[in-house]
Structure 1
Amino acid sequence: MNKFLFFLVLMASAASVTSCTQDDPYEEYFNNWMNNNVTPNTSSGNSATTGELASFDVAIDKSTAEPTDVATAYYPDEEDMLENNDFSTEVAIDLSNPVSKTVDGVEITVNGSHVTANHGSEKKVCYVVSGSTTNGSLTILGEKKYAVKLNGVSITNPDSAALNLLSNKRAFVILADGTTNTLIDGVGGSQKGALYCKGKLLFNGSGSLSVTGNTNNGIHSADYITFSKGCNIYVKATENHGVKANDGIFINGGVLNVEVSAAAAKGINSESHIIINGGRTTVLTTGNGAYDTTDKSVKGAACIKTDSTLTVNGGELWLKSTGSGGKGINVDMEANFNGGSVYVVTTGGQYKINNDSSSPKGIKVDGNINISGGRIWVRTSGYNGEGIETKKQMTITGGEVASYAYDDAINSKSNMTITGGYVYAQGQHNDGLDANGNCYIKGGTIFAICSGTPEVAIDANTEGGYKLYVTGGTIVAVGGVENGSSLSQSCYQASSWSASTWYALTVGSSTFSFKTPSSGGSGLVVSGASQPTLLSGVSVSDGTSYFGGLGIYGGTVSGGTNISLSSYSGGNGMNSGPGGWH
C-alpha cells in the first residue's frame, strides 16, 4: 500500500478513537511519525522461526584465545612487519616519575606529568614506557620510524590525548607480554583520539591495551592501522568512532573489542580499504541515527564502515548495532567475503527526521557483494531492517549465508546470481531473496522463506522487465517464487506443508533435511537436478548442520510421510514491486 495513503488511513483511524491509552498502536504510530522517531511495525504478514539463527547474540569477549581460521596476513609494505625491523636502542620512560634527559640521541622533556620524546634522526629507537599518571601524557616526535613498547602503563590526560604519536613515520606499538595498559583522554579537548598517530600505526605484542576516547575517537591514525596476532585491545568511545584510519585498516590477528555509544558513530571506520584476515573482532554500537548538517542527510551508526572496499578472508567478526538506523557493516564500494565467519545482529528500527530516514541493515553495500566462502549469519529485528543489501549486484559462489530479517532477507538492486554455497533467506515481513534485476539460480542450496502474500520466497523484478531464471541448484521456497519465472529446471509444489516440522528432500543420492518456520508464506515449492521426493515429519540424526540447525545435509533420516508433488510454473500472489513495500 502507498505509504502516504496508509498514513492517512491510520490518522483517520486514530481520529475516530474517543479515548487513547499508551497501548493504542495508532497513537504510537502517529506520535512516532510526528516526532520523527522510529516507525513501529504495522505489517500484517509475519514469518517466524526458531533455532540458533534466531537467538545468537554478540557480546564483548576479552578472552585471549584467537580463532584458528586465518588467512595469509596482509601488510601494505614488508617494512610494516615487526620482524623486518631492528629497534635495539631502548629508551626507558617511567611516567610515575618522569625525568628530563638526553640518552642515545633521544631528548626527553618533562612538563609536570606531560612527557615529550624526540628521537630526531636517530634510528632503531624503542621507547619502553611504564608507570602511571592521572594528569599527564606522552608525545613522541621524530624523523625516523620507531617503536613504543607499552610495559604496564596507565595514562589519563584530562585535557587532551593520552598517547600522541606526532611523527609521520611508522609507529610500532608493542604490547609487552603479560602486561595491562590503559589510555584515557579528557573531555572537551581538540584531540583526534585518546591514542592519535600521524603516521602508520602498527600493533604488535601479546599484552593487553584499553583505550577510552571521551572527546573524539578512541584510536585514530592519519595513515593506516594494522593489527597482528597476539594483541588484545579494547576500545571505548563515547563521542565519536572507536577505531578510525584515513588510509586503511588491516586486521591480521589478535583480539579487538570496540564499543561506541555516540549517535551515528562507527565502531571501526576507514576512509580506505578494510581487510580482515584473522583474529576475533567484536564491535557494539548503541547510538541512534543523526542528521549530518554537512552532508544534509540522515546517517546511522555502524559497527564497520569503509568509504572503500571490505574484504574478509579469515578470522571472526561479531557485530551488533542496537540504535535506530544502525548497521552491522556499511561499505561504499565493493564487499568480498572469501572466508572467515561474520555474525551480525541489529535490533534498532528506522530513524526518521526532516523527511529523511536511515533504515537498519545487517550488511549494506553500495557496490557489488561477492561471497565465495566462509560463513555469514545476519539477523535484524527492528522496523524496516533488511538483512543483506547491495545497491548493485549480488554473486554467491560458495560459503554459508543465512539471513533472518525484519524486511527482505537478501536484496540486490541489480542482478542476483547464485551458483554455489548454502543460502538461507527468511524475510519476517517481506521476501526471502529479492532481486530488483534478474535473479539467476544455477547451483547451490537455497532455503528461502517469505512472510506471506503478496510477498514471495524468491522474487525478481518482473514488473521491471526482469525474471527469475532457475537452471540448477537445490531449492526450498516457502511462499513460492515470482510470477513469470523461467524455470529450466523443473519446480514442484507440495500438496501441503506444516509449520515447525522437519522435512527431507531427496534429489538423486543427496538428501537435504530442513525445518519449516513456525509461520510463513503459503505454498512449499522445491526443485533439484532431478525430480525430488519429499518426506514430512522425519527424524534426522548426524549429518552436517547449516543455518544454525535449520538445515542438515547427509544425515540419517527415519520415519516421515511421503508428500505428493505437482508441477509448478511460478507465482504466488501479486507482484509487489522492487523490494516490496518500503
Structure 2
Amino acid sequence: MKKLLFFISCFIPALTLSAQSMYIYQDNIATVVNAPTAGDMTYGKETLTVQGITFPLTAVDSIIFKNNTVPTDSVIVEYAGNAAKIYVPIQVSPYLTVTTEGAHVSIASSQTNDNEIKYALKGASQNGSFYQTGTYKCSIYLNGVSLTSSKGAAINIDNGKRINVYVADGTTNSLTDCTGGTQAACFRIKGHAEFRGNGTLNIAGNSKHAYKSNEYTILKKTFGGIINITKAANDAMHISQYFEMNNGNINIKDTAGDGIQCDTTDDKTDELNGQLILNGGNIVMTLNGDNAAGLKSDSLFTCTGGTYTITMNGKNSDGADVYAALINDNTSSPNFTITQNGGYLNASDGSKKKSSCFKTESDMRFLAGTMNVYFNKDLKAKGVKVGGNYYYTAKAKLNVSPDVEGSLIPVK
C-alpha cells in the first residue's frame, strides 16, 4: 500500500503534462485514463479518485503508464489462452459492469444515450466467449479474434437495438461454439445487425445454427468481406424479420439444415417481415441435409443482382423455397446456378416428397438475369416450380421450362 501511494504521488502529476495514459488494473480489468481528459485526481491513504470515480486502493493491483492514448468510447477485449484482459475507458466505465470467468467475458451496459460504446475483440482462446447485454445501440469490432466456447455461444449480443458488426479489414476471425449446448447459435445477435468491413469471419455451429439474429441482418455496401459457415447442426444463417445482402461473400458448407432462412417475427407489422433480399455479392453453398432449402423465406424473395451458386445433395431439398419471388436487374444482372442431386424422399404414407431447384408457393416474376438449373428427372426432381403465375421478359434467361400451376404471362 505504501509503495502504491508513493508511486501515485510521484507519477500522477506528470500524467497531466504528457501524452500518456494511466491504466488502473483491478485483476484483469484495466480502467484507462487519457492524460488530456484526466482532470483533477485526488488520492488519499485508501482511495484514488479520477473524474469522480473512486478506486479503493486495496482493490487496485497495479497502475501502469503508457505512452499512448485510447478512444474514449472503445472497450478492448484481448484474449490470450484461458484468460482475457479488458480495457475500459474511464468515460464509459460508469455504464458498464464487467465480469469474467477465465476467458469468458460478460459486459452489461446501462447506457441509454450519448455516443454508442464500441467493443473491439482480438486475440485467441480455445475456452472463451463474449457476451454483451444492454438496451442501447453498440458496435462490435472483430479485430482478428478466434474463440472456441466450451459453455455456449462464442459471441452472444443480447441487446435488441441496432448492432454494428465490423469485420476489420485484413483480419481473419473464427468462432466455434460448444457441442450439446442449448444456445441458439454460435454467433447470436438479439438486435438489428448491420455488417461492415473487408475481413473474413468463419463460424462453426456445433449445437444448432451457426449465425442467428432475432431481428433483421443487413450486409451493407461497405461490407466487402467473407463469411464462411463451415458447419451448422441446423441452419447456417437463421434470421428473423428480414435479410438484406448488398455486397460481400457468403460460403456455406457442412450444414444439416437450411442455408439462409428468413422467418417472420411475432409482430406482423415489422418492416419487410420474413423477406429475403439479395441486391449484390456472391453466395456459394453446398448443402447435404434432407428436407432443407438453400434460400428459404416466409415472404417475398427479391433479387436485383449478384451471383449465386447452390448445390443441394439432400432428398426433398430445394435450392430456393420462398413464398413469392421477384428477380430483376436493378443493381446488376443476377446469375443463379442451382443443382439438385438428392431427389425425392419416401414419406411414411407412401408418397414421394420431391425436390426442386427453385420453388415458389405463389407468383414468380423473373424480369432479368440468368438462372441455370440442373436436376435428375429420374429422381422426380423439378427445375423451377411456381405455385402461382410466372411473369417473364426477354431479359430473363432460364435454361428449362418452368412447371407453373397458374399462367405464363409475358411482360414487355
SS in 1 for 2:160: coil
TM-score, normalised on structure 2? 0.74
Q: Give distance in 1, aligned partners of 2:352 and 2:127.
A: 42
Q: Give distance in 1, aligned partners of 2:88 and 2:246.
A: 37
Offset at residue 284 of structure 1 (A): 1.5
Aligned to 2:385: 389
Q: Give distance in 1, aligned partners of 2:276 and 2:178.
A: 29
Aligned to 1:275: 277
Contact 2:231 2:253 (8 Å CA) reproduced: yes
Q: What amino acid does structure 2 have at the position aligned with 1:373?
A: A
SS in 1 for 2:247: coil
Q: C-alpha offsets along residues 417-471 of structure 1, whole Å, 9 cap, x if unaligned?
A: 2346xxxxxxxxxxxxxxxxxxxxxxxxxxxxxxxxxxxxxxxxxxxxxxxxxxx
Higher relative contact order, chain-length normalized (CA < 8 Å, sep 6+): 1
Offset at residue 260 of structure 1 (A): 4.0
Contact 1:372 1:396 (8 Å CA) reproduced: yes
Contact 2:161 2:191 (8 Å CA) reproduced: yes
1:93–1:325 distance in 2 versus 1, CA, 3 Å: same
Q: What amino acid does structure 2 have at the position aligned with 1:138?
A: F
Q: How does 1:154-553 map to 2 (within 5 A)?
A: 154-228=146-220, 229-262=223-256, 265-271=257-263, 272-288=274-290, 300-331=291-322, 333-339=323-329, 340-355=334-349, 356-381=351-376, 383-404=379-400, 409-419=401-411
Contact 2:76 2:88 (8 Å CA) reproduced: no
Give the number of aligned pairs: 316
Q: What amino acid does structure 1 have at the position aligned with 2:324?
A: E
Aligned to 2:34: none
Offset at residue 379 of structure 1 (A): 1.1
Q: Give distance in 2, aligned partners of 1:260 and 1:390.
A: 28
| Alignment RMSD | 1.7
Fraction of identical pairs, as percent: 25
Q: Give distance in 1, aligned partners of 2:255 and 2:190.
A: 25
Offset at residue 119 of structure 1 (A): 2.8
Q: Give distance in 2, aligned partners of 1:224 and 1:238.
A: 20
Offset at residue 414 of structure 1 (A): 1.1
1:322–1:88 distance in 2 versus 1, CA, 3 Å: farther
Offset at residue 358 of structure 1 (A): 2.0
Offset at residue 100 of structure 1 (A): 5.7
Task: Give the structure with the higher percent strand.
Answer: 2
SS in 1 for 2:127: coil
Offset at residue 115 of structure 1 (A): 0.1
Q: Give distance in 2, aligned partners of 1:144 and 1:211.
A: 26
Q: Give distance in 2, aligned partners of 1:247 and 1:89.
A: 30
Contact 1:127 1:148 (8 Å CA) reproduced: yes
Q: Give distance in 2, aligned partners of 1:311 and 1:150.
A: 30
Q: Give distance in 1, aligned partners of 2:105 and 2:188.
A: 15
Offset at residue 308 of structure 1 (A): 0.7
Contact 1:260 1:285 (8 Å CA) reproduced: yes
Offset at residue 402 of structure 1 (A): 2.5
Offset at residue 102 of structure 1 (A): 5.0
Q: C-alpha offsets along residues 111-141 of structure 1, whole Å, 9 cap, x if unaligned?
A: 1110012232163211111011111110011
Contact 1:371 1:398 (8 Å CA) reproduced: no
Q: Give distance in 1, aligned partners of 2:127 and 2:297.
A: 35
Aligned to 1:494: none
TM-score, normalised on structure 1? 0.53
SS in 1 for 2:135: coil
Q: C-alpha offsets along residues 348-398 of structure 1, whole Å, 9 cap, x if unaligned?
A: 111112024321101010010001111111111261111111111111124
Q: Give distance in 2, aligned partners of 1:214 and 1:153.
A: 19
Contact 1:132 1:153 (8 Å CA) reproduced: yes
Aligned to 1:118: 108
Q: How does 1:14-53 map to 2 (within 5 A)?
A: none
Aligned to 1:129: 121
